[in-house]
Amino acid sequence: MDERPYEIEYEFRFKDGRRKFFKIVLDPETINMIRPELEHKPEWARLDHEQCACCPLKKDEHPYCPIALNIEEVVEEFKSMYSYDDCDVRCTTPERTYFKRTSLMEGLSSIFGIIMATSECPVMEVFKPMARFHLPFSTAQETVMRSASIYLLRQYFEHISDKPADLDLQLLDEHYKKVKAVNEGFMARINSLVEKDADKNAINILNSYAQMLSMQIYYSLNSLEYLFKSR
């Protein structure tokens, strides 16, 4: 295992020449986001401010929502922008660079997804393997493939550890219901903060993917089955 921090850089470039840079640094072992503690923590980041219905954290132990603290910089930066604003987004990982000319909300959805997965939220930490192998701008079908594949790989490791393996994906479906609750809770958290809709619609994209995966599990991932049929 590489012991160096795993760094992911995002650059947003707009038509008027403005450029915004964000660096996400992950601990190579825990896949937790490493970030200096905020000197001034916003009130909207307090745990009990629109706390997610499924959140297991207690405010006396965790006064602030860990996702909110890590995502605060990005939310604040884009709170006065529209989701349909055009931009060029470049994502650089240690292995390669990705680039897409897209809407702001799609670029934000990618960076929100990795921050939410690596912020030590007990509900979202199941996505850490996906965060470590980050794929920005992933399509709906790519998201279904990656989520199901990584979950089944997790079940393999459960199996070789003599633990029950969930090959029917029922536990994954239950977990995605909690993920939807986190997305909805975070939407409520930032709703009164943002002036326009870029941040909110980025969360909406993540939530639509969670809903879609639940539907795909219900239909036994039939949208992917054709890829594995012998010809």
Q: Pick the more confident residue, 211 or 6.
A: 6
| 10 pLDDT above the threshold of 80 | yes
Distance between CA 177 and CA 53 in Å, rounded? 11
Query: For residue 72, is pLDDT > 90?
Result: yes
**For the whole model, what pTM was predicted?**
0.91
pLDDT (mean) for 79-88? 92
> Across-strand partners of 214?
none
Whether pLDDT at 52 is above 90: yes
> Alpha-carbon distance 52 to 62, whole Å?
14
| The predicted structure's pLDDT at residue 217 | 83
What DSSP string describes the chain?
---SPEEEEEEEEETTS-EEEEEEEE-TTT-PEE-PPPSS--GGGBTTSS--TT----TTT-SB-HHHHHHHHHHHHHTTS-TT-EEEEEEE-SS-EEEEEEEHHHHHHHHHHHHHHTS--TTGGGGHHHHHT--TT--HHHHHHHHHHHHHHHHHHHHHTT----TT-HHHHHHHHHHHHHHHHHHHHHHTT-SSSHHHHHHHHHHHHHHHHHHHHHTTTHHHHGGG---
| Stronger pLDDT, 183 or 1, i.e. the higher one | 183
1 has a pLDDT exceeding 70: no
Cβ proximity of 44 and 150 under 8 Å: no
The pLDDT assigned to 219 comes to 78
Q: 31 pLDDT exceeds 70?
A: yes
Distance CA 124, CA 52 (A): 12
**Model confidence pLDDT, tens digit, residues 103-154:** 999 999 999 999 999 999 999 999 999 999 999 999 988 999 999 999 999 9
Considering only the C-alpha atoms of the chain, give the largest distance between any 2 of them, rounded to a whole number of Å.
60
- Counting Cα atoms < 13 Å in the Cβ hemisphere of 21 gives 4
pLDDT value of position 153: 95
Check whether 230 has a pLDDT greater than 90.
no
Q: Which two tokens stand for residue 51?
A: 């706390």
Average pLDDT score over residue span 40-59: 93
Quote the pLDDT of residue 125. Answer: 93
